[in-house]
Amino acid sequence: MSQSELYVSLDIGSSSVKVLIGEMANKSLHVIGVGNVKSNGIKKGAIVDIDATVQSIKKAVDQAERMIGKSIHEVVLGIPANKMMLQPVKGVVAVNSENREITDDDMDRVLEAAQVMSIPPERELVNIIPEQYIVDHLDEIKDPRGMIGIRLEMDGTMVTTSKTILHNVLRCVERAGLQIRDIYPQPLAAGYYALTEDEKNHGTACIDIGGGSTSIAIFQDGHLTASTVIPVGGDHVTKDLSIVLKTPTDQAEKIKLEYGHAFYDNASEDELFEVPVIGSDTKEQYSQKYISEIIGVRLEELFELILDEFYRLGVQDLPGGVVLTGGMAKLEGLPELARNILQTRVRLFTPEYIGVREPQYTTSVGLIQYAYMDDVFYGRIGSGAALGNPQKVEQEPKPQKQRQQKQPKEEGEGVVTKAKKMFDRFFE
Ligand SMILES: Nc1ncnc2c1ncn2[C@@H]1O[C@H](COP(=O)(O)OP(=O)(O)OP(=O)(O)O)[C@@H](O)[C@H]1O
Ligand SMILES: [Mg+2]
């Protein structure tokens, strides 16, 4: 495939809203635009102020647009793991065509058949992640199209989330004047990208430590099997530093980024720095070792909470160990502390693309990679309309349904349309 395809991902985080414009060509990604704006209106991963969130999204979109001189229309959206539930589902259909060859239409129908499960009124379907197809009792098929059979089955995982959480995210994106190309759970996108195939197969936890929350995604047998969120992140560390050192929050954040260390044993006693004290003209001197104790206490508590979550989720063994990512994962000494408390192998994951070589961008890059993989699988490449003209055409966002009807119908669009239709209901 020589054609390149543009994707824009939107990660609405508690610390910052990140917009990434990526060009996918022959499975490789080039990041061509980045927007990263301090977020307002998001706490512990969930939206608490719609207007403030919309403003943050608009600013981040603007930043990314300026880098490429084009406007953004369509985004791949990550939704937080708060209140998310994973459930196994199964779809079964009879193969439709006369010659019994499995086609895109059968793939659509089997996906639809898997959605028949009743979902409680306060929950909403986000995705169905296919795990294997079974054609006339022959299992472990990744792609049954072109095969001959009578009965097609699909085993997958249904992801549902709280209607309120999803509705608020969708409302913000809509108000920011953006259309949604795809929606994926943030931990699915981050884990899919950060973990190697072996790690995904053997049983590994991807832990994304952000500003206001820490997301855990467990992968086993190649699939996401569990996901949960702990409402503790890097911002708690900043707050602790600010309180103990009696210094303003912005100073505490600066100190954390510049001198922070998570592991007391390895922190330096000679690395000294001065900290302004709130309400006085004086400055106090501290060492890295001193603040590593403050930071360590909070992070030890976080890793203990992670162990509790492993226990609650029934995760007894992680042969692939733990992969740490998210903005906070960049803190010096964090893998050592994690190893010490989790008592397993720990590695740090950082994206390798120019412009986004920071663990805070793992989810953003993962969203693009995941959407691309999905599009390749469903033959949707070439149908994207992520970018448009330099001037924004739509100042007043029209209802989602109306705008989506204007989308040109592409060949092989069936499954995409289905994903999009799922969310139209909110705007009816
Ligand atoms: N170099 C660094 N060293 C230490 N901490 C860092 C560094 N860079 C960023 N952080 C911290 O990472 C956190 C933000 O991470 P990230 O951008 O992944 O969060 P988010 O996605 O906005 O939030 P969440 O996922 O909780 O909704 C902040 O607390 C920030 O201080
Ligand atoms: Mg995040």
- Domain extents for the chain? 5-82+163-192+356-427, 85-162, 197-348
Domain 197-348: CATH architecture, name and number where available: 2-Layer Sandwich (3.30)
At 6-53, the pLDDT tens digits run 999 999 999 999 999 999 988 899 999 999 999 999 988 789 999 999
Q: What is the DSSP string of 36-73?
A: EEE--SEETTEES-HHHHHHHHHHHHHHHHHHHTSEE-
Question: How many whole angstroms separate alpha carbon 95 and alpha carbon 167?
Answer: 36
Q: Which residues surround ligand 2, an ion (CB under 5 A)?
A: 13, 210
Which pLDDT value is given to residue 46? 83
| Element containing residue 284 per DSSP (H, E) | strand 283-287
Residue 384 has pLDDT above 80, yes or no: no
* CATH number of this structure's domain 85-162, picked from the four choices 1.10.10.10, 3.30.565.10, 3.30.1180.20, 3.30.1490.110: 3.30.1490.110
Distance 69 CA to ligand 2 centre (A): 27
List all residues whose CB is within 6 A of at least one atom of ligand 1: 13-16, 45, 210-213, 233-235, 238, 253, 256-257, 260, 326-328, 330-331, 360
Smallest Cα–Cα separation from 376: which of 145, 178, 95, 128?
145
Distance 152 CA to ligand 1 centre (A): 44
Domain boundaries 5-82+163-192+356-427, corresponding CATH code: 3.30.420.40
What phi-psi label fits residue 22: left (phi over 0), alpha (psi between -120 and 50 degrees) or beta? beta
Please indicate whether residue 24 or residue 392 has the higher confidence score (pLDDT): 24
Smallest Cα–Cα separation from 308: which of 359, 232, 404, 406?
232
- Provide the strand spans (E) within 53-192: 71-72, 74-79, 85-94, 123-135, 138-141, 151-162, 179-185
Question: How many whole angstroms separate alpha carbon 114 and alpha carbon 116?
Answer: 6
Question: Please, which residues have CB within 8 angstroms of residue 121's CB and are 6 or more apart in sequence?
Answer: 163
pLDDT average, residue stretch 43-71? 94
Report the predicted TM-score, pTM, of the whole model to 2 decimal places: 0.90
At 138-179, the pLDDT tens digits run 999 999 999 999 999 999 999 999 999 999 999 999 999 999
Tell me which residue has its CA closest to atom 4 in ligand 1: 331
**Matching fold, domains 85-162 and 197-348:** no
Residue 308 has which token pair?
A: 């509790």
Smallest Cα–Cα separation from 268: which of 328, 329, 332?
332
